[in-house]
Amino acid sequence: MTKSEAIFERACKVIPGGVNSPVRAFGSIGGTPRMICSADGTHMTDEDGNTYLDFVGSWGPMILGHNHPAVKEAVIKACEDGLSFGAATKREVEMAELICSSIPNVDMVRMVNSGTEAVMSAIRTARGYTGRDKIVKFMGCYHGHSDALLVQAGSGVMTAGIPDSAGVPKGCTQDTLSAVYNDASSVEKLFETFPEEIAAVIVEPVGANMGVVPPAPGFLESLRSLCTKYGAVLIFDEVITGFRLGFTGAQGYFGVDADLVTYGKIIGAGMPVGAYGGKREIMSCVAPVGPVYQAGTLSGNPVAMAAGLAQLTILKDHPEIYQELNEKGDWFYGEVKRLLEKTELPAQATSCGSLGCIFFTNTPVVNYETAKTSDTSLYASYFKHMLENHIYLAPAQFEAMFLSAAHTREELVGVLDVMRGFFLKDN
Ligand SMILES: *Cc1c(COP(=O)(O)O)cnc(C)c1O
């Protein structure tokens, strides 16, 4: 038995499924999770001393690579001043100023502790602002695990085979309407049915929790104009795309304005951080200035802010990081696509900048229905092949591959070789 296996056995006795988030489980691909004890740059090391080239990047936060020296230094420095005060601090203001001065349509921002919390609070704010109850989400988009949003919610839920979570009362989801990703007419129909009841449309501007499903040309623009027409709030859930597609996230990348934006992952550089922000008029509804209550004992935590600020400052001061990262993504996923043209397996690659995914299906993937045509057992074989070659991918089909600024072309050429060994083995 490996050390990872032994620790996992202990874990299963005291933690449901042995993991603190279902996406870490190896349930859908078989085997036991590797217990990671450290990471640096592009590599993670497990308890048995195996190292892996990592493409999960803590599910996105590690856009500069693991254990970035500037982030680490900022965290250590902040720790020396105390871990939490439960009172206002300057770092929170610096964080808010950094975000509001550079992100379009974000005039004010509130820090929270996770993406889930950010989205939950943004929805509440949109409802408070509009005085309406209904929200529209897209099938296959994940917006955290709050009750109202656990409807057709993408990867973690898909892989576990739970269509909707148990324990969510019907009352909590009765105002959640589901639309089809990349199909604006499905949203238009909902608006026609409920013209004055929809508070918000929430979307992952790039679907990244049903595998990677980029928005079709015009899709996000249509959502923008529908929300404007019907007086609903357009929420971009940028928990993955924020500070990844570019510093200004999907709003900047696609040139579409949102009313509220949610952040997580990269914004905390690996610390538990989320944020929601948007137009002043809407954010002014939030307590203590407005009637929408939202609070957090550890929100804006000084250590977390230090980590996030350090990473965001580097990203903001070096726009070339995004240019290089997106070029690297286009090149790498382009090579993957070329490789998959030659395979006899049903497989296609999708990508947007540094986010990419291989779907094991020949059906063109444009939404949740088509993503679900993937052969997950083939993904399991592929995952195992990559892991045996010390390449760590998400242990589930419906997740993204995250490239970081730290990945080198040499490393990626090596990955392509290993992929070739899987996809072209019979040729
Ligand atoms: C990860 C994720 C969330 C939830 O964030 P947590 O920090 O895990 O609560 C919400 N929305 C999207 C798009 C995500 O990818």
pTM over 0.75: yes
Instruction: Taking residues 354-364, report their average pLDDT.
Output: 98
Average pLDDT over all residues of the chain = 96
Which residues, in sequence order, are CB contacts of 36 under 8 Å at separation 6+?
44, 45, 46, 47
Which of 138, 154, 31, 116 has its CA nearest to residue 400? 154
144 CA distance to ligand 1 centroid (A)?
5
381: pLDDT strictly greater than 50? yes
Averaged pLDDT, 65-79: 98
Nearest-angstrom CA–CA distance, 283 and 260: 8
Mean pLDDT on 41-46: 98
pLDDT of residue 37: 98
pLDDT of residue 361: 98
Query: Which atom from ligand 1 is nearest to the alpha carbon of 272?
Result: 7
| pLDDT tens string 17-38 | 999 999 999 988 889 999 999 9
Ligand 1 center to 119 CA (angstroms): 8
- The minimum-distance atom of ligand 1 relative to the CA of 144 is 4
pLDDT at residue 203, rounded to an integer: 98
Closest atom, ligand 1, to C-alpha of 115: 5
Section 79-107 average pLDDT: 98
**CB within 6 Å of ligand 1 — which residues?**
114-116, 119, 142-144, 204, 209, 237, 239-240, 264, 274
Tell me if residue 265 is catalytic. yes
Tokens coding 92:
């929170």
Q: Of 265, 279, 328, 372, which is the active-site residue?
A: 265
Identify which of 119, 157, 158, 260 to mutate to test ligand 1's pocket (most ligand atoms within 8 A of the CB).
Answer: 119
pLDDT in tens, 293-336: 999 999 999 999 999 999 999 999 999 999 999 999 999 999 99
Cα torsion angle, 104, 106, 111, 116, sign: negative
Total residues found in the chain within this entry: 427
Within 10 angstroms of residue 364's Cβ, the number of other Cβ atoms is 10
Element (H, E) at 24: none
pLDDT digits (tens, 9 = 90+) for 215-258: 999 999 999 999 999 999 999 999 999 999 999 999 999 999 99
Nearest CA to ligand 1 atom 6: 115
pLDDT at 427: 46
Task: Give the mean pLDDT of 258-279.
Answer: 98
Question: What is the rounded average pLDDT of the residues 203-218?
Answer: 98
Question: 142, 253, 276, 333: which one is catalytic?
Answer: 142
Q: What is the pLDDT of residue 303?
A: 98
Q: Of residues 46, 54, 237, 259, which has the active-site annotation?
A: 237
As given in the structure block, the two tokens for residue 77 are: 């420095």
The percent of residues above 70 in pLDDT, for the chain, comes to 97
The preferred substitution site among 21, 240, 245, 402 for testing ligand 1, maximizing ligand atoms within 8 Å of CB, is: 240
Q: How far is the CA of 398 from the centre of ligand 1 (A)?
A: 14
State residue 72's pLDDT score: 98
CA of 111 to the centre of ligand 1 (A): 14
Q: Which is the closest atom of ligand 1 to the Cα of 117?
A: 9
Structure tokens given for 385:
């092949």
pLDDT of residue 158: 60
